[in-house]
Amino acid sequence: MHEMSIAMNIVDIAVQTAQKNGAHKINSITVEIGALSGVVPEALEFCFEAATKETMAEGCRLEIVYLKAQAECSACGFKFETDQFLNLCPQCGEQVFAAGGQQLQVKAINVD
Ligand SMILES: [Zn+2]
């Protein structure tokens, strides 16, 4: 499952950052997940606990900030948020491709 490797990657980044700052324990990790990143938040949460086993992040909370993609219609200029790459403009029915929403990054960690 590809969320497992993503979860391990997130834990790695958090542990490295915590160690650099002389922390002993990670309380929570905040990650931003874009709607078009292909990552399913529920699947990531499921893998996260296993990924933290026997690390200083064990038992820590995973806070997910889910970001929608932005779309702007080139025909009528209407702007809207979406979680799909291909959309139909709600205003005029034109095809609109979403931009952004692909991010997957560790935004913040809370340590002791
Ligand atoms: Zn439109």
- Residue 1 pLDDT: 56
Residue 10 lies in a domain: yes
Confidence of residue 2 (pLDDT cuts 50, 70, 90): confident
Tell me whether residue 89 is annotated as binding.
yes
Residue 105 lies in a domain: yes
| Crossing angle between the packed helical segments 2-20 and 41-52, to the nearest 10 degrees | 50
Residue 46 lies in a domain: yes
Q: What is the pLDDT of residues 4-55, one digit of tens each?
A: 999 999 999 999 999 999 999 999 999 999 999 999 999 999 999 999 999 9
Tell me whether residue 47 is annotated as binding.
no
Residue 7 lies in a domain: yes
- Residue 87 pLDDT: 98
Helix (H) and strand (E) counts in the chain: 2, 7
Distance 96 CA to ligand 1 centre (A): 8
Q: Give the domain CATH number at 25.
A: 3.30.2320.50
- What is the arithmetic mean of pLDDT over 76-104? 97
Residue 80 lies in a domain: no
Distance 95 CA to ligand 1 centre (A): 8
Distance 90 CA to ligand 1 centre (A): 7
Residue 18 lies in a domain: yes
Distance 35 CA to ligand 1 centre (A): 21
Residue 22's domain comprises 2-68+101-111
- Counting residues of the chain whose pLDDT is more than 90, the rounded percentage is 98
Residue 11 lies in a domain: yes
Helix (H, G, I), strand (E, B) or coil at 18: helix
Number of domains in the chain: 1
Residue 29 lies in a domain: yes
